[in-house]
Structure 1
Amino acid sequence: MLRIHFTAEDFTRVRFAPRPSPVPELHAALMMLGAPHEELLFGRWRGRLLRALPGAAEPLADLVPGGAAPSFLDVLGETRQEGLALIRAARPECVRSELERVYAAGRAPAPPWIRALHAGSPEAWRVLERAQRAAYETVLAPVWPLVQDLHRAEFTRHALTVAERGLGAALTALAPELRDGTWEWPGAPRDVHLSGRGLVLLPTFHWRGGPLVQDLPDRPVVLAYPAGGGLPPGPPAAPGEDALAGVLGRTRAELLRSLTTPRTTTELARLLGVSNATASAHAQALRAAGLLTTTRTGRSVHHAVTPLAQLLPGE
């Protein structure tokens, strides 16, 4: 359980990020590329981007040898250039200690460019900047206008909640356990003490795991939380193109659309032109992703869409 501890002063210093931040969003997307979960919704997205990522982006993997990134990458910034400048401005001793930390397990030796970064080499910093830029252009640039629209809608929703019902209601809308100055999120055990630094809430539209916390000395704590409709942001569909089928596959997209009312497996198989076993397998995958529910009545099972599925495009 993640526990965030507030002082009275911290409650006056909670704010929602007014605009998306490219560097944290990029890092969330890159983490999602390597994450094994939600294969149904993110599998095709992962495959497409992994095929498209240029070789110049490969050094970024060297920064997370054990799955945890060095903290000097934890920056905000309203543009990619500003975020990269903040990374570059990290104190040399912080860069060295964080690189030593992430390579401490010794699973693999640090590659030459990481050793050069540890030594403060300007060329190694250029390698990192080129890798960040290449990843951004491939992963985020095509969908950045959509991310901005999604963020604007999320910010407006929270602003209205705060105005109408107060900060507590806005916080508990994200995670309901808030009592005695402690806000709890499901996740790995961790205690974060704000100690008067305040908190920045940053929605991310690529990460679907638990909240991501930036907790650096003398800075506000940043909590990046999963937002959006559950699908990876994608470029606008061309006229006649089925955006939902591009993510789920044609058969599963048609299955969801056919559930205007609950239907049995046999009815789904007949509508889709597939066997009962195939329809059942597709329904099981969609149920695992939280997109439909299944209830048994006698010898029959009935499938129905969930509220999450109703948020998907074309539903």
Structure 2
Amino acid sequence: MIEFRFAVGDLATTSFAYSPLQEAVFSLRSLHDPARYPHHRPWLRRIRPRLGGLDQELLTALVAPWLWVPDFLTPRPERARPSFAEQLDVVRGTPAEVVVADFRATYRTPEAMPAVVARGLADPRAFLGRLTDALEAYWHVCLAADWWPRVQSILEADLAYRGRVLAERGAGALLPGLDGRLSWTGSHLRLNTRDFNVPAPWTDVAIDGRGMVLLPTMFARGAQPLIDPSRPPLLMYPARGRGTLSEEPPPVTGDALVRLLGRPRARLLLLLAEPASTTELAHRLGVTPSAVSQHLTVLYDAGLLHRTRSGRIVRYARTPLGDDLCR
């Protein structure tokens, strides 16, 4: 059991975020154990041919056999929606001694550490440069173009859902609802660690005015903290709706809906049970964003969709009228 102790005021500084760098690093877990992440199998099949041109030896060594990763590779976001580039810059600034300490904590014994890591830690500054270059290449070759837009849409939908729970039911319902491992006692958040692959190295942490950041992830079966309890508090939890990543666009089976809206708009309406952006919908349907945008405008003007803006990204979801039509 790990217990996070909240003092008066700590809930006020608890916030949600998501991290593209965290998701990129955690996605390397699926290279270790594809069976553990069935929703990512279609993506894995697509990227396998591309991995040969990357520093695959190092990338796979960033994840221990028990799926831990060094804490410095997943820095706590300073805002709700950081970019991959700005977080990678944070990693590039990691002190050499932290790089060494975090790899040692991740692999736990010298015998477990891969040779590529052991050699690299002899010159941690140079090793950090190789590591960040490898992650940047992996991001651009395998993730940024088609995988991340879909993942980002799922993470955005999760944050929107958590916001509704907080507004309607309060923190006492929000925190345990992140994962079945979690329970809330009124001042303590408890994380059951019975099914951890490796025993947690610590059992207690005080939030102590530092704020806690809660991050949804596509690559966890349950809530998990950082390895080092002295770092600013951070808790990762399974993203709601992550199973939809491998879904194909739903077939349009309602003839009446097709006759009313046309097949492209009917399919879009079915897809929008959860919020999604124009780009993400275009990727899922294999069409251009401009074509999707035209149909979304018509559905929005008809009152079947509503839209919300996060920075430059606009996401659409069905209104109650749109839900009724799909039923």
Over 3 Å counting, the alpha-carbon distance change for 1:232 and 1:139 in structure 2 is: farther
Does the CA-based 8 Å contact 2:5-2:188 persist in structure 1? yes
Does the CA-based 8 Å contact 1:202-1:225 persist in structure 2? yes
Task: Provide the residue aligned with 2:237 in structure 1.
Answer: 225
Shift of 1:140: 2.4
Q: Under a length normalisation based on structure 2, what TM-score does the superposition of the two structures give?
A: 0.61
Alignment of 1:100-179 (within 5 A): 100-102=104-106, 105-107=109-111, 111=115, 115-122=119-126, 124-141=127-144, 142-175=146-179, 177-179=183-185
Q: 1:252-311: CA deviations, max 9, x gaps?
A: xxxxxxxxxxxxxxxxxxxxxxxxxxxxxxxxxxxxxxxxxxxxxxxxxxxxxxxxxxxx
Over 3 Å counting, the alpha-carbon distance change for 1:34 and 1:214 in structure 2 is: same
Does the CA-based 8 Å contact 2:76-2:232 persist in structure 1? no
Over 3 Å counting, the alpha-carbon distance change for 1:39 and 1:219 in structure 2 is: closer
Does the CA-based 8 Å contact 1:203-1:224 persist in structure 2? yes
Does the CA-based 8 Å contact 2:34-2:41 persist in structure 1? no
Q: Secondary structure at the match of 2:139?
A: helix
Does the CA-based 8 Å contact 2:28-2:60 persist in structure 1? no
Over 3 Å counting, the alpha-carbon distance change for 1:117 and 1:164 in structure 2 is: same
Does the CA-based 8 Å contact 2:4-2:189 persist in structure 1? yes
Partner AA of 1:69 in structure 2: V
Is 1:211–2:223 an aligned residue pair? Answer: yes
Structure 1: 5+ residue stretches without partners? 241-313
Distance in structure 1 (CA, Å) of the matches to 2:37 and 2:231: 35
Q: 1:39-82: CA deviations, max 9, x gaps?
A: 65444444443443244241122233544322221314411211
% same residue = 28
Distance in structure 1 (CA, Å) of the matches to 2:211 and 2:227: 11
Shift of 1:118: 4.2
Structure 2: 5+ residue stretches without partners? 253-325
Is 1:198–2:211 an aligned residue pair? Answer: yes
Distance in structure 2 (CA, Å) of the matches to 1:125 and 1:115: 12
Q: Secondary structure at the match of 1:223?
A: strand
Is 1:9–2:22 an aligned residue pair? Answer: no
Distance in structure 1 (CA, Å) of the matches to 2:99 and 2:22: 18
Q: Under a length normalisation based on structure 1, what TM-score does the superposition of the two structures give?
A: 0.63
Aligned alpha-carbon RMSD (Å): 3.4
Task: Provide the residue aligned with 1:280 in structure 2.
Answer: none
Is 1:33–2:39 an aligned residue pair? Answer: no
Distance in structure 2 (CA, Å) of the matches to 1:219 and 1:113: 23
Q: Secondary structure at the match of 1:9?
A: coil
Partner AA of 1:63 in structure 2: L
Q: Secondary structure at the match of 2:166?
A: helix
Does the CA-based 8 Å contact 2:99-2:128 persist in structure 1? no
Over 3 Å counting, the alpha-carbon distance change for 1:31 and 1:96 in structure 2 is: same
Shift of 1:111: 3.5
Q: Secondary structure at the match of 2:138?
A: helix
Over 3 Å counting, the alpha-carbon distance change for 1:145 and 1:112 in structure 2 is: closer
Partner AA of 2:184 in structure 1: L
Does the CA-based 8 Å contact 1:29-1:207 persist in structure 2? yes
Over 3 Å counting, the alpha-carbon distance change for 1:237 and 1:98 in structure 2 is: same
Partner AA of 1:203 in structure 2: P
Q: 1:226-251: CA deviations, max 9, x gaps?
A: 113242636986999xxxxxxxxxxx
Task: Provide the residue aligned with 1:266 in structure 2.
Answer: none
Match of 2:191 among 175, 178, 185: 185
Distance in structure 2 (CA, Å) of the matches to 1:37 and 1:5: 35
Shift of 1:179: 0.8
Shift of 1:174: 1.7
Is 1:49–2:47 an aligned residue pair? Answer: yes
